[in-house]
Amino acid sequence: MTTRAVVIGVGHYLPERIVENAEFEQSLDTTDDWIRSRSGIERRHFAAEGQTTSDLAARAARDALQDAGIEADDLDAIIVATSTADLTFPSAATMVQAELGMTRGFAFDVQAVCAGFVFALANANALILSGQAKRVMVIGAETFSRIMDWSDRGTCVLFGDGAGALIVEAQTGNGTNADRGILSIDLNSDGRHRDILYVDGGVSTNSIGFLRMEGKEVFRHAVEKLAATATTALEKAGLNGSDVDWVVPHQANIRIIQGTARKLGLDMDHVVVTVQDHGNTSAASIPLALSVGKDRGQIKPGDLLVTEAIGGGLAWGAVVLRW
């Protein structure tokens, strides 16, 4: 008998305002065709003025609670993966906790940029396997529109806002890879690459700053490292690419998603793709894709999933789970 962190609910929230690629043609030397062909992005959502990351996160959390059929006080912990928390402190997670009316348990944020959800899910799994929590809400939520340099066409057309949430619960499995729940995890970071994707400001540098990216360099690392981490995670679970029903990748660029799938030996009909509608929502992109993939009828109970993400740090990783 083995304890497994099993998904019991999923949900998401996207801000109302949708911005099509064509809108950027008004203010930048860019075209819908360039954005579409180089990234696969067609549109993205932007938070309204005054709408914060914890607002988006709380809405996604409510959606996930409803899906699981439980109340906020049935949770032991909330982890929010974000690089765009409302305030320097307290954490976005404690704001969500208050917003949900949850009066017990604990809440904290995890910051691993676009890989944040994978790192947060690994934390939730560790809390469950060590007996410190039975039910954990894991949220990815971002308002990257707040850290865009709107004059930099190489970045501002690529990102969007949104939130996704997953609830995992301790259940008993047989200890085989036929179990439902999280089967294996692979986490990595390499701070030598910290200057190819970063925000040029922050609390201890006295400015908010804007996102800066050497796109080509990040792209090069992404395909190679994402395929490697997904393969390693699958191997840790005694599985390989042919066992995978769905890859649920970080949604940064359709060409990265296609290149990674190719390296894993998988057709695109085994990949959940939402980048066309959401853009890159950083830590929110995987839980958003899980929720949308479930709503579309793609992801079904018992399916074997591998999620993989890479972002600033660089930080990257993968989680293998049976839905």
The site for ligand UT7 (CB under 6 A) is made up of: 30, 34-35, 38-39, 114, 153-154, 157, 215-216, 218-219, 222, 252-253, 256, 280, 310-311
Do 187 and 33 meet the contact criterion of CB atoms below 8 Å apart?
Answer: no
Minimum distance of ligand UT7 from residue 19's CB (angstroms): 14
Compute the chain's Rg from CA coordinates.
Answer: 18
Active site residue 280: yes
Minimum distance of ligand UT7 from residue 116's CB (angstroms): 10
* Nearest to ligand UT7 of 220, 296 (CB atom): 220
Q: Which of 114, 156, 193, 253 is catalytic?
A: 114
* Nearest to ligand UT7 of 175, 202 (CB atom): 202
Active site residue 123: no
SS (H, E, C) the chain: CEEEEEEEEEEEECCCEEEEHHHHHHCCCCCHHHHHHHHCCCEEEECCCCCCHHHHHHHHHHHHHHHHCCCHHHCCEEEEECCCCCCCCCCHHHHHHHHHCCCCCEEEEECCHHHHHHHHHHHHHHHHHCCCCCEEEEEEEEEHHHHCCCCCCCCCCCECEEEEEEEEEEEEECCCCCCCEEEEEEEEECHHHCCCEEECCEHHHCECCCEEECHHHHHHHHHHHHHHHHHHHHHHCCCCHHHCCEEEECCCCHHHHHHHHHHHCCCHHHECCCHHHHCECHHHHHHHHHHHHHHCCCCCCCCEEEEEEEECCCEEEEEEEEC
* Cis amide linkage into residue 90, ω under 30° from 0: yes
Minimum distance of ligand UT7 from residue 222's CB (angstroms): 5
Classified as helix, coil or strand, 54 is helix
Q: Which of 45, 193, 250, 278 is catalytic?
A: 250
Minimum distance of ligand UT7 from residue 281's CB (angstroms): 9
* Nearest to ligand UT7 of 65, 211 (CB atom): 211
Minimum distance of ligand UT7 from residue 152's CB (angstroms): 8
* Nearest to ligand UT7 of 47, 252 (CB atom): 252
Minimum distance of ligand UT7 from residue 273's CB (angstroms): 14
* Nearest to ligand UT7 of 286, 306 (CB atom): 286
Active site residue 221: no
* Nearest to ligand UT7 of 60, 256 (CB atom): 256
Q: Which residues are annotated as catalytic?
A: 114, 250, 280
